[in-house]
A and B are shown apart, each in its own frame.
Chain A
Amino acid sequence: MIATLIELATANPIAAAVLALVGLALLFGALLGFAAERFRVEGDPIVEQIDALLPQTQCGQCGHPGCRPYAEAIAAGEAINKCPPGGQATINALAGLLDLPAPELDDEHGEASDVKKVAYIREDECIGCTKCIQACPVDAILGTAKMMHTVIAAECTGCDLCVEPCPVDCIDMLPVDGGLASWQWQLPARPGLIASDRQPHSGAAA
């Protein structure tokens, strides 16, 4: 049986090669088709990855109602430079992920700020209207109708969506100051190309 097959193959080399290739193509085609069915991924995994890079302030400055909708929009081809809270770092990270050139931040959607902020309600002035509670995208404001409201600072993302609806303007966006606990060492100044051209530090002997 095998001997006859080998004989046939040697007699018709071209036909044998074509047959072998077709056979392989069918085999791997079936394998790939099975894998595609068996390991199907629900949803778009790139949206998850984009969402993980966005700062999750849920501020809506990009024009979408939250970070995830913006991630979905980016996956659908929207510009990646509409996120002021993330700033250039987020744009760079998104550009790296999506293999796109990293544009500058689009100023139309607001300016990037290095200072982290947190909402603060001047509680004496609060009238208990609950408008800010409805506006808060992360449920970080505590209070109920006709009662004083207050911000849970640890949960506030600093999106400032609560400032606009307040009828008595009693919400301030204050910079976060962690004091000693949040202090970090900074990178030293980068040495120039020819360090000996520079003057020695004047502050060294102070």
Chain B
Amino acid sequence: MRKVWETPGGIHPAENKHQSVGRPIGQLALPEQLVIALNQHAGPAAEPQVAVGQTVLKGERIARSGAAALHAPSSGTVVAIEQRPVAHPSGLPAECIVIACDGRDQWAERQPLADYRSVDRQRLLDTVAERGVAGMGGAGFPTAIKLATDRPITMLIVNATECEPYITADDALLRERADELLTGVDIASYLLGDPAERVVGIEDNKPEAIAALRAAIAARGADHAPVELAIFPTKYPSGGERQLIQIITGQELASGALPAELGIVCQNVGTLYALKRAIVDGEPLISRVTTVTGRACAVNGNYDTLIGTPISALLAHNRLAPERLARLIMGGPMMGIALPSSELPIIKTSNCLIAADDTEVAAEQPAQPCIRCGLCAEACPASLLPQQLFWHAQSQQHDKLEAHNLFDCIECGACSYVCPSNIPLVQYFRAGKGEIRQQRADKAKSDFARERFELRQQRLEQQERDKQAKREARKLAAEQAKAAQAASQASGDEAPANSAAAMIAAAQARAAARLASPEQQREKLERAIASSRARLERADANLAAASAEGADAEALKPLLAGQAAAAQKLAQAEQKLAALAEADSAASPATESTASADAELDAAGRAIAKARQAAAEREALSPAALLDRDIAALDKRLTKLRDKLVAADDDQRELLAASLAKLEAKQQALHSQREAVADGV
């Protein structure tokens, strides 16, 4: 037998397990309705994939989630997807899918994977998630995620401890279905890359289960990987993951570390059994073994229970005496939650129901002041100081709580159990954890808000700066324009001369470019002609060679085409060269140096001189003379228009008449202006 180690702390509450293991695992009548809560695992709730009114078969997927899907536990019709009360310490309702069973319990098509070793590991992990397997020990952590670890795993620990009083679901499962559990161990082993060791950790208070396991291991062929048993004395809470690892390996897991960091993965018995059913039998996780116990029930036992079965149906099956029921607990007496009513559904992690009467649960005693007896520190399996944590939790000193490693508390309840002052220590610790988590979330949110606020401020400032810069640029441009205007007015004729010089320079540059380019063009064309000629010769040679070899017409076709193309290119290039030469000879009389540019300069100079002359004349004339000139011009236009009117056809006449009228009006206006000027003179 394997050597086992001791863990600190722990308590020995009355076990109360014998009541429920006397009989084999029982079957229940199909309930009328099944209520499947959508958030059964750690992480976000699953998304429903069925609509109200839809018919579903047993084992059909009804909700999807990345980690572990949900399936219809029996065939029937979806009658509602709504908020229903669920087993949660808050008592708050949660989204549920309600299925009315049709009583036929008809399976959807199952896809067994007996030869799972031929399936790729990642695909098998996806199948595990797809078939809804999740941790059945209590936390409901999706199994596919736990098994998908990237670290090298050297040991798979099967948690068969079941250390909490009353619960016997794993015990019953081991007694009857140890061989199926071992198949589950093999599957998990394959998914973890076949670790060197497989160890079942079990307390010594389950001799029948140990015997069944030994028999099942012996019955397996030698070709199966060996499975060891680690049997250790009964103590609560040996079944905690960290405690179990310490018991079996002697190694203590660091604060906040995961077992995989030591190369270890722990899986609960129920989970491995569900894994076997899901893979080898193709049955998704739709039922579990649940212990129903407590003195308020006439019969105690374990049952194969469909997920979603109302708790009331289970209790009725066990002949509950409602008048004796003092408290209804889901889970164990140490870590379970008290239920406000029995109209709640079983979920994947519901391992036990305790219908306790008042002889089993003491009435809640009022909490008394802490007397600093230190019993809680002795009982703590995580070696914490519960009394210190209590003081800090009470005064909400969160930094001190964290300094005392509050987050290493596994909430096992051993401290509350031993407290002589009946202080609900675990509740303080849970509240403290909740407050710290809330604060962390708030801090993250406010940091995010601060970041966004600062980014927005920066953006607004940048916009303001950009606007200011634009405004200033505009102002500067306006000032420069003004200055330029003033300068041009001051220096009189300087500006036009300048612009004429610029025009001349541009024209010279253009002429130079034109001059340079024909030579280049000619060179380029000559190069093209040479290469085309060479290609044509090659094509001719090819053609001659091909016809000499006696190739058929089909083979000659591309060669002929190539030859024709080469000839065409050559002709084009030669043509272009000829055109260029012609243009050159035409231009040659003027080409010597910048003659054409000089000509352009002359033209520009003439135009400028003419404009200047016109301007000077205009300046020289008196206003009266100017008006006279305008009138004369208008008169000329009028006579022309009248001539046109006579010649025009009917369509044009109207238009012409209109413009004539306009011009006459203008003429009158000019005449009156002229008169006014004459009067003024």
Instruction: List the interface of chain A (C-beta within 8 A of B).
Output: 51, 54-58, 66-68, 137-140, 155, 157, 179-180, 183-188, 190-191, 193, 195-196, 198, 200-201, 204-205
In the bound complex, do residue B364 and residue A56 qualify as a contact, i.e. CB atoms below 8 Å apart? Answer: no
User: Which chain B residues (421-435) contact chain A, with CB distance < 8 Å?
Assistant: 423-424, 427-428, 430-435
- The B contact surface, by secondary structure, is helix
The contact of B364 among A66, A140, A155, A201, by CB within 8 Å, is A201
Residue B89 CB within 8 A of the other chain: yes
Residue B35 CB within 8 A of the other chain: no
In the bound complex, do residue B365 and residue A58 qualify as a contact, i.e. CB atoms below 8 Å apart? Answer: no
The contact of B367 among A138, A155, A195, by CB within 8 Å, is A195
Min C-beta distance of A103 to chain B, whole Å: 20
Encoded as 1 (CB less than 8 Å from any A CB) or 0, chain B from 452 to 493 comes to 111111000000000000000000000000000000000000
Residue B450 CB within 8 A of the other chain: yes
Which residue of chain A has the shortest Cβ distance to B340 in the bound complex? A206
In the bound complex, do residue B456 and residue A180 qualify as a contact, i.e. CB atoms below 8 Å apart? Answer: no
State whether A180 and B449 are in contact (beta carbons under 8 Å apart), knowing that A138-B456, A187-B431, A196-B368 are contacts in the complex. no
Q: How far is the CA of A57 from the CA of B453 in the complex (A)?
A: 9
Given contacts A68-B453, A183-B90, A187-B394, 4 further A-B contacts (CB under 8 A): A57-B449, A138-B452, A179-B92, A185-B427
Q: How far is the CA of A157 from the CA of B450 in the complex (A)?
A: 10
In the bound complex, do residue B428 and residue A139 qualify as a contact, i.e. CB atoms below 8 Å apart? Answer: no
In the bound complex, do residue A191 and residue B369 qualify as a contact, i.e. CB atoms below 8 Å apart? Answer: yes
Q: How far is the CA of A183 from the CA of B437 in the complex (A)?
A: 11
Residues of B within 8 A of A51 (CB): 450
The 3 closest A-B pairs by CB, nearest first: A184-B434, A56-B446, A204-B364
Q: How far is the CA of A123 from the CA of B367 in the complex (A)?
A: 52
Give the interface residue-count category, chain B.
35 or more
Residues of A within 8 A of B435 (CB): 184
Residues of B within 8 A of A157 (CB): 445-446, 449
Write 17 A-B pairs (CB below 8 A) sorted by A numbering: A54-B446, A56-B453, A68-B450, A137-B453, A139-B455, A157-B446, A180-B88, A180-B94, A184-B431, A185-B427, A188-B367, A188-B427, A195-B367, A198-B366, A200-B365, A201-B364, A204-B363
Which residue of chain A has the shortest Cβ distance to B44 in the bound complex? A181
In the bound complex, do residue A187 and residue B428 qualify as a contact, i.e. CB atoms below 8 Å apart? Answer: yes
In the bound complex, do residue A195 and residue B427 qualify as a contact, i.e. CB atoms below 8 Å apart? Answer: no
Q: How far is the CA of A183 from the CA of B93 in the complex (A)?
A: 12
Q: How far is the CA of A205 from the CA of B438 in the complex (A)?
A: 32
In the bound complex, do residue A55 and residue B446 qualify as a contact, i.e. CB atoms below 8 Å apart? Answer: yes
Which residue of chain B has the shortest Cβ distance to A55 in the bound complex? B446
Q: How far is the CA of A113 from the CA of B449 in the complex (A)?
A: 19
The contact of A56 among B89, B393, B450, by CB within 8 Å, is B450
Q: How far is the CA of A54 from the CA of B447 in the complex (A)?
A: 10
Residue B391 CB within 8 A of the other chain: no
Min C-beta distance of A37 to chain B, whole Å: 29
Min C-beta distance of B646 to chain A, whole Å: 60
Q: How far is the CA of A139 from the CA of B455 in the complex (A)?
A: 9
Residue B5 CB within 8 A of the other chain: no
In the bound complex, do residue A138 and residue B453 qualify as a contact, i.e. CB atoms below 8 Å apart? Answer: yes
Residue B39 CB within 8 A of the other chain: yes
User: Which chain B residues (369-414) contact chain A, with CB distance < 8 Å?
Assistant: 369, 393-394, 396
Which residue of chain A has the shortest Cβ distance to B450 in the bound complex? A56
Residues of B within 8 A of A185 (CB): 89, 427, 430-431, 433-434
Residues of B within 8 A of A201 (CB): 363-364, 366
Residues of A within 8 A of B453 (CB): 56, 58, 66-68, 137-138
Min C-beta distance of A151 to chain B, whole Å: 13
Which of B89, B449, B456 has its CB near the most chain A CB atoms (within 10 A)? B449
Q: How far is the CA of A183 from the CA of B39 in the complex (A)?
A: 14
Which residue of chain A has the shortest Cβ distance to B86 in the bound complex? A180
User: Which chain B residues (84-103) contact chain A, with CB distance < 8 Å?
Assistant: 86, 88-90, 92, 94
Which residue of chain A has the shortest Cβ distance to B91 in the bound complex? A183
In the bound complex, do residue B452 and residue A190 qualify as a contact, i.e. CB atoms below 8 Å apart? Answer: no
Which of B88, B358, B365, B366 has its CB near the most chain A CB atoms (within 10 A)? B366
Residues of A within 8 A of B431 (CB): 184-188
Min C-beta distance of A116 to chain B, whole Å: 9
Q: How far is the CA of A56 from the CA of B443 in the complex (A)?
A: 9
Q: How far is the CA of A186 from the CA of B365 in the complex (A)?
A: 19
Which residue of chain B has the shortest Cβ distance to A159 in the bound complex? B449
Which residue of chain B has the shortest Cβ distance to A204 in the bound complex? B364
In the bound complex, do residue B450 and residue A67 qualify as a contact, i.e. CB atoms below 8 Å apart? Answer: yes
Q: How far is the CA of A184 from the CA of B438 in the complex (A)?
A: 8
Encoded as 1 (CB less than 8 Å from any A CB) or 0, chain B from 21 to 62 comes to 000000000000000000100000000000000000000000
